[in-house]
Structure 1
Amino acid sequence: MNRPWSLVRTPSFWILLSVTALATAATLLVTVFFAVLAPWSTLVGTLLVSVYAALFLLLIRQFDRLGTRPWWLVALAGLWGATVSVLVGGTAGFTIDDLLGRLFSPEFAGIWGAMIVAPPAEELAKVAGVVFLFLAARPHLRTVFAGAVYGAIIGVGFAAVEDLGYAALAADDTLPDDVGEALRMLVLRFTLPGAVGHPLFTAVAGAGVAYLLVRTDRTRARRVGVFVGAQALAWLTHAAVNSPVAIAVSDGLDRLPGFAVLTGYLLVIAIPGAASFHWLATLRHADAVRLAERLGAGGPGLATADEAAAVTTLGGRGRAARAVVRAHGWRAGRAALRVQRAQLRLVDLPPQPPVVPQPIWYAAPPPHPWPTAHPQPVSSPQSAAFPQPAPYPWPVPPAPPAAHPWAAPYPWPVVHPRPAWYPWPPAPVPPFPAVQPPADIQALPAPVQPPAEIQALPAPVQPPADVQALPAPVPPPADVQALPAPVTPPPSIASAGSLPPATPVPTDTPAQSAPVRWTPPMPPPPAAAPPWMSPPPWGPPPPWGPRPPWGPPPPPWAGVPGGVPVYGGAPGVWVRPYPPVTWTSVVQRRTAELAKARTALEGLTGSPAVPAAAAVPVPAPTWLTRTAIGLAVVGLAAWPAVPVAGLLVAVPLVGAARRHEPVHRGLRLATIGVLVSAYCWGASVLALALFPDVI
């Protein structure tokens, strides 16, 4: 049967759900313990980390516009990061750190322990969640960038719970329930390392897992190499954040005039962070190209060329929607966004699953419950010239198709044909030896009178012409010639058609030498319908005949087109509460969703297609971008250069936004440089304000 993938039939999902549920219960117990120690700090910290996690998820969604992410999968990823990763990573980190102090010294563990212990302990616990998500929901993770997205979500959950734990410990360290100390710790954790934190670490590691599992078009050596390189990059970035080397560089630059306090630390972690962001941007661009190809392959009914470009480019969906709002109002803009979402939902379907054959219902064949005629004596040479008895007239299923080898007829004459719903070949029957008719055959009683409905049957079909043209039979043996004349059936049976009259066979032998044909008595027809012909207890008889009494009942989806059969409570009543969920039905439903969205857009704008926004960026003046980049570099040592560079890049950025145009690459680089310089100074000032005695 052509059924799509189902989550409830995936064992990995239940394993993932069970582990996450147990870890969630344990995390709630730890949170209750912190709430008892510092109730107000825990409450305020929970609110702040919730806002922090929500902002990070919105940022991830802004960069992830290449597919639809189910809410339950996003929730599972966040729960894994917030519960399983924290418990496993924290326990493993504490154990390894204690072992490190025993092997070397407590001072060595205090300085280098965070750099050595945290990357393997925490990253392995987080990347295990990405692996479980791929095993549990494989159809929803079919691109490399999808692994990066779910890895980032796991990192957000991990960072939120870890920061809340640090805030609760800081609040209980100095005074009982010191809310101010908890707030200062949370702000510092949010600021440093900023964007280069747990979401970035796990996004890189998750992209490596996705590359290993998704890109089957690459060689195994390349996929394993990319996976190992991604894990090494994630560990290196995490180690740079916890490294005392970054703090030493920051202390060295702080002694120079003009540099901010945390400039050296932020520059050290920016080197692996920039490499991570660049690789993720490359993966997103490759997935966007493949998505555009799938949208274009669907034809204009799925997406036009302008719509495909708007959906796949970064910020293209927002620019197209803003253009529609500017021309036709906010209702038309919402309709354009619905069209884009419907296009992504339709193109994001997994490939059509293979057709699974319908399972065999019956486990083993029973003995034949219907009568079978006796075979003709082998010694009789004229047995083939006589027609066989007609089968009993009760209803029989249709014959099976001739394509199956087991559908061939029996090699011997039968009264009742084999049913068509046999899913196995008949058991071989050994050949019968030559049997002479018994001597007391004349004393056999007359055959039982068949039912009245048999009397009205038409005469049986005469044998074909090739049987009439058989050559003259060989004279039978002498002992057969001496047998008495065969028993003649009563006229009632002969006239009813149960035993048709014997057809004369042309022969050149004298009439007195004709062989005697031995005809066994026909078995009597059943007086009542046999048990296997009675109506089945599970509903009306299917079109192919009644169900035999052996084997399990049929599956609920078999034999009932157009719906899943559910017993309605009364004999012979079947109800179809919902249509069957198949891959074809999902495609039809999402196609109808896209058609409905296009109809709504056409009613508001006059066109069913989303109007094209400007896709080619207008380059900013070269002198402006170079000057802005130079001032951003100088701004690391002299803060007055930062606002000047910001003013230079702000003018073309505002103009591009007003014209709904994408930003040129040179202007993007200048903007990133200005933001990095401004972040160094802002984080330094904030850290000095919060911890003047430490920094």
Structure 2
Amino acid sequence: MSDPVRPGVRQPAALTRRPAFWVVAALLAAGAVRIAQITGRFLDVYPLATITAILLFALLAVPFWLFVSELDFLEREPASLRVVAFAWGGLVATSVSIPGSNALENLIAKLGSPHLAAEWGAALAGPTVEEIAKTLGVIAIVLIARPQVNSVLDGVVYGALVGLGFQIVEDVVFAVGAVSLAGGGDQIQPVVTTFLVRGFLAGVWSHTLFGALAGAGIGYLVVNPDRTRRHRIAMAGLALAGAWASHVLWNSPLFRDGLGNGALALLAVLVFKGLPPLLLILYLVRRAHDREAAYYVGKLAELRDPALITDGELLVLGSGSRRAAARRHAAARAGRRARSAVRRLQRAQARLAVELSRATEPEVRHHAEVRKHRAVLEQLGHPEAVEGDRTWRHTVSTVGTTAVAIGVLWVALSLIN
């Protein structure tokens, strides 16, 4: 996808004046009532299991939320719109999908056969209803705050957050459903098993990823006015079809019995079904991020003022890995305060870049903010937020982190086998 970047804009101050805002608010309210009713029934029958499920999956949502929010470091989405996206997925999309998927499965059984519905109903009905419902959430963001979607990466972020909201609520429903199927009363073991399978193991590949892919298509539709409407709609449709196909593959009965017994066989199935869409969205995110970084860093380069940003910092600011390396370098040289100061400087430089992209003169406060954080770094003896040379400690840390991640994954797979 070609991805132009529009200048950064302020969030409109009067969103409530737009009819679309009230439509979205009404849908969110209706969804909240529906989910509250479902949760109330769960609490009546399985209070311990329901509370455990809510807590576990809420904790799971935190790292996903933080990671997705950081994808667009240079021009972060307003927190209010991120909350709307998450709420749409958790309240509206789930409320529509629960009855909608059941109705479509019944239709498949009538038009096809009960056997077809039993084997492929979840793979065909679920993705069809759910991906449309989630994509409508990104469209809702566009309708109430279109200027905030100014790159494909913005569409990815909003789509991923819609998917995350959907995934968390759906997983809680599945966890309590597993308790009911187990028939052992108000027990937490089925909840923990569901958490390991649907949350810990499948979380990387599922709704957050599908939503991000469809959101990329909506982002492309919005930020490419130079392309024909037919072309933009076709690309958005292709992205939605990709999300749908990835979801169908994930829900399909293919390899339902695995590739054998044991943790390694289950891991192979997860990779086979989840790796293709993951690689695709990583490619799209990297491409969109690089284009956006080049645009905003280019604005900062025009300043030619080392008090605001040096040549070394220009190289670092446009890369997530280099920004992180610069923080580690600061911590190694001048302690944790320097690490925090580098992060604040990078954030201030990003805000200044967005201000520079606007038609109006950039606000003086962002120049002052950058200089303030620069002064803190100078006092700590680390005046420039640049990455240091890679050392053996960095290599050991990377290898150690990878080994721990593999170990945790292996233990989780072993527990459910």
Is TM more than 0.5 here? yes
Q: 1:312 aligns with which of 315, 318, 321?
A: 318
Counterparts of residues 153-552 of structure 1 (less than 5 Å): 153-173=161-181, 174-247=183-256, 250=258, 253-254=259-260, 260-300=265-305, 302-349=308-355, 352=358
Give, in whole Å, the separation in 1 of the partners of 2:190 and 2:86: 27
Give, in whole Å, the separation in 2 of the partners of 1:314 and 1:606: 20
Aligned to 1:5: 12
Aligned AA (1:159): Q
CA-to-partner distance for each residue in 1:134-159, whole Å, 9 max, x for gaps?
Answer: 22223332121111112111111111
Cα gap change, 1:15 to 1:657, in 2 (>3 Å)? farther
Q: Pick the structure with more helix per residue.
A: 2
Aligned AA (1:169): G
Q: Quote the offset at 1:192 in angstroms.
A: 4.1
Contact 2:316 2:387 in 1 (8 A): yes
Aligned AA (1:59): F
Cα gap change, 1:350 to 1:323, in 2 (>3 Å)? closer
Unaligned runs of 5+ in 2: 1-9
Aligned to 1:589: 365
Contact 1:126 1:155 in 2 (8 A): yes
Cα gap change, 1:266 to 1:677, in 2 (>3 Å)? farther
Q: Quote the offset at 1:682 in angstroms.
A: 5.2
Aligned to 1:138: 146
Contact 1:342 1:593 in 2 (8 A): yes
Counterpart of 1:277 in 2: which secondary structure?
helix
Q: Quote the offset at 1:48 in angstroms.
A: 0.2
Counterparts of residues 556-635 of structure 1 (less than 5 Å): 587-605=363-381, 607=383, 610-614=384-388
Q: Quote the offset at 1:347 in angstroms.
A: 1.9
Aligned to 2:6: none
Contact 2:206 2:274 in 1 (8 A): no
Q: Quote the offset at 1:606 in angstroms.
A: 6.9
Counterpart of 1:605 in 2: which secondary structure?
coil
Give, in whole Å, the separation in 2 of the partners of 1:325 and 1:600: 14
Q: 2:415 aligns with which of 686, 690, 693?
A: 686
Contact 1:172 1:178 in 2 (8 A): no
1:120 aligns with 2:128: yes
Q: Quote the offset at 1:5 in angstroms.
A: 3.5
Contact 2:74 2:351 in 1 (8 A): no
RMSD: 3.1
Cα gap change, 1:599 to 1:675, in 2 (>3 Å)? closer
Counterpart of 2:256 in 1: which secondary structure?
helix
CA-to-partner distance for each residue in 1:171-226, whole Å, 9 max, x for gaps?
Answer: 22313322222222222212442411100000011011001101334454543343
Q: Quote the offset at 1:261 in angstroms.
A: 4.2
Counterparts of residues 631-670 of structure 1 (less than 5 Å): 654-656=393-395
Q: Quote the offset at 1:588 in angstroms.
A: 3.1
Q: Quote the offset at 1:678 in angstroms.
A: 7.3
Cα gap change, 1:178 to 1:74, in 2 (>3 Å)? same
CA-to-partner distance for each residue in 1:285-317, whole Å, 9 max, x for gaps?
Answer: 222222322222343264333222222112222
Aligned to 1:453: none
Q: Quote the offset at 1:162 in angstroms.
A: 0.3
Aligned AA (2:26): S
Q: Give the TM-score taking structure 1 as reference length.
A: 0.53
Give, in whole Å, the separation in 1 of the partners of 2:347 and 2:150: 18
Q: Quote the offset at 1:340 in angstroms.
A: 1.1
CA-to-partner distance for each residue in 1:154-173, whole Å, 9 max, x for gaps?
Answer: 11111110010011122223
1:43 aligns with 2:51: yes
Give, in whole Å, the separation in 2 of the partners of 1:289 and 1:223: 23
Q: Quote the offset at 1:66 in angstroms.
A: 2.9
Counterpart of 1:247 in 2: which secondary structure?
coil
Higher RCO structure, 1 or 2 (CA under 8 Å, sep 6+): 2
Aligned to 1:91: 99
1:148 aligns with 2:156: yes
Contact 1:247 1:265 in 2 (8 A): no
Unaligned runs of 5+ in 1: 354-582, 619-651, 689-695
Q: Quote the offset at 1:274 in angstroms.
A: 2.4
